[in-house]
Chain A
Amino acid sequence: MPKRVVLGNDPFERGAAARPAAPKAEPAATVDPTPPPTKAPRPAQARAPRPRRPEGAPASVKPPASPPEPLQSSAEETAPKLQGWAANANQEVGRALAVLRSAAEAVRAGLGSPADVELDVYGGDAKLQAAVAPLADFLYTRWFRVSVEGAEHVPRGGALLVANHAGALPIDGPVLHEVLRRSRPDLPPSRWLVEDQVFYAPLLGTLLNRLGAVRASPENATRLLSEGRPVCVFPEGIQGIGKPFRERYRLKRFGRGGFVKLALRTGAPILPVAIVGGEESLPLLAKLPAAFLGMPYLPVTPLGPIPLPAKWSVRIGPPLKLPAHLAVAGAPAGTEALGMVEDLVEQTRRHIEEMLQELLRARGAVFSG
C-alpha cells in the first residue's frame, strides 16, 4: 500500500517528467474549466486557435515540466493582448476608412451635389455635414487636439466672434464652428463668414459653402445674427491667410471695421477670439499665380490641402464693453461714429493680440503635447 502509494506517488511525481501526458492532461483539465467561460464569450474575437494552443504547445514542449506553465500563461497573456491589438487595429482601420470616406464625400460635394440634396438658404448641406463628421472628429480630437478656453463667454441670442485669421487655407472657420458645436451645444449652430476670394475659389468655395461658410457681407451677417446664432468673422480677410509663414500670428489690418458697425447696428456683442495652431498647420510657403482659375493666387503648403498636425488652442474672450450710450442708442452718425468705430476695432485687435501672445507663451512644442 505504502509502496503503491510511494510508487504511486513516485511515478506520479517522476511521471511529471517521464509521462507528461498525465500532468498535462490534469493541468489542462484544471485550466480548462476557467478558460472555457472566458473562451465562451470570446470566440467572436478569439476564434479556435487559442483553446488548441494549451494542448498542442505542451505536447511539443514536453521535457521541461515547469517551463511549460509560464509559457502557457504568457501565451494566455499575449493572446488577449494580440486580440486587443487586432481589435484595436481593426477599429483604427475602420475609423481611418471612415475618415477617408468622409474626405472623399467632401471633395465630391465640392464638385456637385446629388439630386436629393437639401440646402438651407445660405447653401449649407446638413447631410454632408453629418457625413464628414468622422473627418471633422478626427481632425479636431486627434490631429489638431484642439484645446478650448472661454466658450462659456458666448452669450445666447447672437454674438460676433472676431478671430485672427491664419494658415494658407481658411480652416479656422470650420474649427471655430466645431469648437462651439462641441463646447456649447445649447446654442444654435454657428456660421462663419468667408471672404469673396475664398468663397469663389473653384471647388474649395463650393465645399466650404456646403459645410456652412457664408459669404462675408453685412446683409448676410445681419440675417445670421437675427437668427440668434454665433457668427464667426475674420476681419483680416484674405490678408490674414495670405501672409507668409515668417509673419505668423502678426495681425493684419482689420478690414474697415465692418464688424464693429454691424455690432453697433444690431446690438450683438463682440467677443475677441485667439486661435493658435493654424499658422503651423498650413504654413504658406509660396504663392503661385492663378488668375486662370479666377483666384488671386494658389497657395503652396507642405502637403497641399492636408494640414500638418500642429496642436491648436482657441481662447474666447469675454464680450467687449461698449460705451454705455452706444449700447442703448445704437449706432451714432457722422464723423464721431467713425472715430468710435476705429476705437472699437483697435480695442478688439488689442484683445486678440494679447490673448494670442498668452497662448503662444503657454504653448510648449508646436506639434507634440
Chain B
Amino acid sequence: MMRVAMTGPTGDFGTLLLPRLREDGRVGHILTLGTRGASGPRVVHHRVDLTRYDVESELVDLLREANVEVLYHLAFLHGRTRSAGFAHEVEVIGTLHVLAAAARAGVKKLVVPSYTLVYGARPENPALLQEEAPLHGSGASRFVSDRVEVEKQLTAFGKAHPEVEVTVFRFAPVLGPTADNPATRYFRRPLAPTLLGFDPLWQAIHEEDACAALLHVLDRPSAGVFNVVSADVLPLSAMVALAGSRALPLPAPLARAILRGLNAAGITATPASLLDYLHYACIADGTRCREVLGFVPRHSAREALQALRT
C-alpha cells in the first residue's frame, strides 16, 4: 500500500485525480495539502498555504509524519486568477517550498504536471518537439513563463537530489468537460479569434488521459520528462470547428495591435505574445511516453474537443 500526498487537491488536476486515487487499490493513505479541501475516507487534509514564507518546515513535518512515498505537486492555477502576482507566488515560490520540503522529508517520487506550451510556438520549431528541446516559453505570458520557471527548478532539483525520482508530464492543452484553462476558455468562446491566413497545427489531451497518465506512474519507474499528447494533430481551424465555435480571422498585425490596445486600456490582461500559439505550431513528440512508460492516451484530440461541448 502506497502512501501518497497531493498539493492542490481542489485544482484542475487534483479534482480529477483525488477520487481515482481513493479508489485505487495500490494506494493506502492519502494526504492532501492546500488552502481548500476536505478530509474523507482514506484522505487526510491539512490546510497549508504555499505562499507563506515559513511553509517549508510545516510541509516537512506533515510529509514525514505521514511517511509519504509519492508526492503529486498539482498546486497550479489554470483558471482565471485574481492577480498575476498571486499566481506567481503559488506556482513558482510554492514549488520552491514543496521541492525543498520533499527532499528533506525523504519523499521517493515527485510527479509534476507541465504543458507542451513551455516549448513556445515559434517559427523555428521542428515538426515534432522532443523533450530535450529548449523551453522558450511565450514572452510576457504569466501562465507559460511561470511553468517554464517551475520546470527549471525541477531540472535543478533533479540534479541536486538524484535520490528523488522526478517525473514531469508536459501535457498538450488539456481539454474536457471540467477543465478550465486558457485553452478551454479559448475554444469555448462562441467566436474564437484566429489569424487570417495562418492555421497552425495543434494537439490536445483529454483531461481523463491527463489524469490517467498521472495515475499510471504511481508505482512504475518513471524518472524524466514526458510529452503527453494526442496521437493526432489538427489545424487550429478544425479545432475551433470541432469545439462548436466559429473562427473570427483577423489580420495578424491588426490582432496584435487590438490586443495591445485592450491591455493598455486595462480591459483585458491577455499578453499579445499568446497570439504566437495562433500563429505558429508547437507540436510535441509523444513517442517517449508511449515507449518508455507504456502509456497511450485513449482519446484523440478530436474527442477531447468534442468533450468540451458537454
Contacts and interface: CB of A to CB of B under 8 A. Distances in A.
Interface of A: 110-123, 196, 199-206, 210, 214-215, 217, 219-220, 223, 292-294
Given A111-B249, A118-B232, A123-B281, A200 B237 contact: no
Given A113-B199, A202-B197, A206-B197, A215 B235 contact: no
Given A113-B237, A113-B238, A202-B197, A223 B281 contact: no
A219 B238 contact: no
Contacts of A199: 123
A170 B260 CA distance: 34
Nearest to A201: B197
A299 to B, nearest CB: 16
Nearest to B201: A123
B123 A196 contact: yes
B277 interface: no
B127 A112 contact: no
A203 B197 CA distance: 4
B231 to A, nearest CB: 9
B126 A217 contact: yes
Given A112-B235, A113-B238, A118-B232, A214 B127 contact: yes
16 contacts: A111-B196, A111-B197, A112-B237, A112-B238, A114-B241, A115-B238, A116-B238, A121-B127, A123-B127, A123-B201, A199-B123, A200-B280, A201-B197, A217-B124, A220-B127, A223-B128
B198 interface: yes
Nearest to A218: B126
A200 B198 CA distance: 8
Given A115-B242, A206-B235, 17 more contacts: A110-B197, A110-B199, A112-B247, A113-B237, A114-B241, A115-B238, A119-B235, A121-B233, A123-B281, A200-B279, A202-B197, A203-B196, A205-B198, A215-B127, A220-B127, A223-B128, A292-B253
Contacts, number: 85
Contacts of B195: 202
A114 B238 contact: yes
B46 to A, nearest CB: 45
A103 to B, nearest CB: 17
B234 interface: yes
Interface string B188-217: 000000111111010000000000000000
Interface of B: 123-124, 126-128, 194-199, 201, 232-235, 237-238, 241-242, 247, 249, 252-253, 279-281, 283
B192 to A, nearest CB: 11
Nearest to B124: A217
Nearest to B231: A121
A104 B252 CA distance: 23
Contacts of B253: 292-294
Contacts of A112: 194, 199, 235, 237-238, 247, 249
Nearest to A125: B235
A114 B253 CA distance: 25
Nearest to A197: B123
B233 A206 contact: no
B233 A115 contact: no
A112 B235 CA distance: 8
Contacts of B241: 114-115
Specify which of A116, A199, A202, A205 lies most central, judged by the most chain B CB atoms within 10 Å of its CB. A202
Contacts of A217: 124, 126
Nearest to A115: B241
A209 to B, nearest CB: 8
Contacts of B280: 200
Nearest to A120: B233
Contacts of B242: 115
B148 to A, nearest CB: 21
A196 B126 CA distance: 12
Contacts of B196: 111, 202-203
B252 A294 contact: yes
A111 B199 CA distance: 7
A123 B195 CA distance: 17
Contacts of B199: 110-113, 206
B198 A202 contact: yes
Contacts of B197: 110-111, 201-206
B127 A122 contact: yes
Nearest to B133: A219
A294 B124 CA distance: 15
A117 B235 contact: yes
A350 B124 CA distance: 30
Contacts of A110: 197, 199
B235 A123 contact: yes
Contacts of B247: 112
B238 A117 contact: yes
Nearest first, the 10 A-B pairs at minimum CB distance are A202-B197, A112-B237, A219-B126, A115-B241, A203-B197, A206-B199, A113-B235, A117-B238, A113-B238, A115-B242
A121 B234 contact: no
A228 to B, nearest CB: 16
A204 B279 CA distance: 14
